[in-house]
Structure 1
Amino acid sequence: MSTRYPNRRSALFALGALPLLASCSGSETERTAGNPRYATIDQSGAIAHGPVAGRLPRTPTIDEIRQRGYLRQSGSLTNPGFALENVKTGAVTGFDAGIAQLLAKYLLGKPEVDTVTGGSDTREAMLGNHSVDVAIGTYTIKENRARLVNFAGPYYVAHSGVLVAADNRDIRRLSDLDGRRVAVQPGAAEESLRKEVPHAIPVLFEQSSQNASAVRQGRVVAWSANTALLLGKSVIDKELRMTDIAFGSSPFGIGTPKDDPAFKSVVVEFLHRIMADGTWRKLWECTVGVLTPGPVPHPPRVGSVPGS
């Protein structure tokens, strides 16, 4: 699925405060719309603050982006706080969405982004065949993935967490998942669960909405994923609750095509710029910071994890 609204996407970004609506189902849309914190999310100031590159090198990916006139990325449109689409207006708001918009602005002078959605296991293939320019969306940097794509980052480091039904008080520590059915998406979340709780029973779902439904319906006892993903779901859904369990590390990176290393260097410079000039902090404050008031985390050091 590809979502883009030509001739009005940039205008929507500039308008600012737009209520966030989930795009996967009516019930989830109602959950999001009913949460007053979402109505105050407005990242237009952070996007306006973002830098525009001066002279850029010519690379195959940059040439294609400029010829097309917008950045095409693999990402999510259903992750509250990080990338959530307003189905009425087409505006996409959240920290990851903002990173994509800022990168588009850096490359083109305008935050034009086309988001292609799909399963978490399709990103390497889309980058490899140049269906997308970048992959941005809680994309954990892994050394095995780095054999297929070039990672710029990390731009944020999350952890693995555990989400349960709101009335569940049985799951308090990782060992409580032994022998229990736990929803995960294939990839980093599944690998982390198998490593940390080898006796848990992973139940695989491609979409985050499917994992949430499995918990609500009692088909699994918990859902394990990175804390960024679980945060948004727990904030909007009163039937779900994040536990205090945290383990491992999930450094998020921007995936770029393996055959265009010069483009990766440009994206690395972009990350250095937004972290140094305060744009990264502004974006966090007006997206995730709206949902979880507290200290703004420090940006991670780019290139600090294997595979980046």
Structure 2
Amino acid sequence: MRTRTTVVTAVAAALVAVLAACGSAPNQAPGAAAKPAAADIAGQIDETAVVDAAPVGQNLPSTPMLDKIRQKGELTFAGSRNTIGFSQLDPATGKLSGFDAGIAQLLAKYLLGKPNAKLQSGGSDTREALLGNHTIDVAIQTYTITPDRAKLVNFAGPYYMAASGIVVKSADTTIKQASDLAGKNVATESGAAKDALLAAVPTAKPILFDTAAQCVAAVEQGRAEAMTLNNASLYGVIATKSDVKLLDATFGTNPFGIGMPKDDPKFKDVVNQFLKTIESDGTWTKLWESTVGKLIKTPAPQPPQIGSVPGS
């Protein structure tokens, strides 16, 4: 009886160990190092000190948009709630953090003297409409400047030059660059991401999803052989994954701009001056280091030249 009890106890202990290992990293590839949870990564990102030390605009000209924003006492903007590193909302505290979120706070402080920026939810397919009817003041949402979009809205910037990134399974060695996506099923989103893919690889087969998380899941589950979005949308997602990897190779360019209503060109000049100010005084670099820099552990890039791309 004692022997039987000992065997049962040993088996039970082994099962507990196996279950604990499985529960600790359900998506972890064999032999891969565990990755931190999204909440842990988001907790490292905090631009508060940078915003506190940021400049306030002096002797700004009166424009209809600026007068409206000052009358409200806040800057209303379209932004993301779930792009770690760029704009992530903590549901427990209500704090929005990240590079794009920081740009919104910095702009609000520059215009108002305080970082009173209010997030207004809006998907990527509604930004032009929200700007056109003045539901929001600006859109700061990994918003790629394109000539077609510039027909509908004004763009300040670019304030960051992203590129299209490629994600594959960790064990995949067949896809190393964009040309290797030829003839393959590639998860992506409609709009600029899909257009960039087909411009670079016309024979790729896009499979469209609504979010970066859904695209990654398609690769994990084998429904797509790769995924591509602008790399800004990928840094935070990949930082928590062990079974997929972000390739070093990129393709194309995605210049991010601050979108605003078309009917106040002087306000665009004010926002461009804001961007020039935070770039020249080092605020831009400090913001990067306190947000995206926490994810990718590389030196901050050089800010792009204002007005350097079509549509800006």
Fold shared, TM-score > 0.5 on shorter chain:
yes
Partner of 2:262: 258
Q: Residue 144 of structure 1: SS of its match in structure 2? A: helix
Q: CA deviation at 1:222?
A: 1.5
Code of the residue aligned with 2:125 in structure 1: it is D
Q: Residue 142 of structure 2: SS of its match in structure 1? A: coil
After TM superposition, list the pairs within 5 Å mapping 1:10-89 onto structure 2: 31-35=37-41, 38-89=42-93
TM-score by length of 1: 0.86
Tell me which structure has the larger Cα radius of gyration.
2
- Once the two structures are superposed, residues 173-211 of structure 1 have per-residue CA deviations (whole angstroms, 9 ceiling, x without a partner) of 223212222111222111100111111111122222222
Equivalent residues of 1:120, 1:206 under 8 A apart: no
Query: 2:121 pairs with 105, 117, 123, which one?
Result: 117
Partner of 2:95: 91
Query: 1:272 pairs with 273, 276, 299, which one?
Result: 276
Q: CA deviation at 1:262?
A: 1.0
Code of the residue aligned with 1:193 in structure 2: it is L
Partner of 1:184: 188
Q: CA deviation at 1:306?
A: 1.2
TM-score by length of 2: 0.84
Equivalent residues of 1:233, 1:240 under 8 A apart: no
Q: CA deviation at 1:41?
A: 2.3
Alignment of 1:164 onto 2:168:
yes
Q: CA deviation at 1:34?
A: 4.1
Code of the residue aligned with 2:169 in structure 1: it is A
Q: Residue 207 of structure 2: SS of its match in structure 1? A: strand
**Structure 1 alignment gaps of length 5 or more:** 1-26
Range moving further from structure 2, 139-148 or 107-116: 107-116
Query: 1:198 pairs with 191, 199, 202, which one?
Result: 202
Query: 1:301 pairs with 299, 302, 305, which one?
Result: 305
Q: CA RMSD in A?
A: 1.7
Code of the residue aligned with 2:191 in structure 1: it is G
Distance 1:283 1:137 in 2: 16
Q: CA deviation at 1:58?
A: 2.4
Partner of 2:216: 212
Code of the residue aligned with 2:261 in structure 1: it is P
Equivalent residues of 1:46, 1:283 under 8 A apart: yes
Equivalent residues of 1:70, 1:112 under 8 A apart: yes
Partner of 1:230: 234
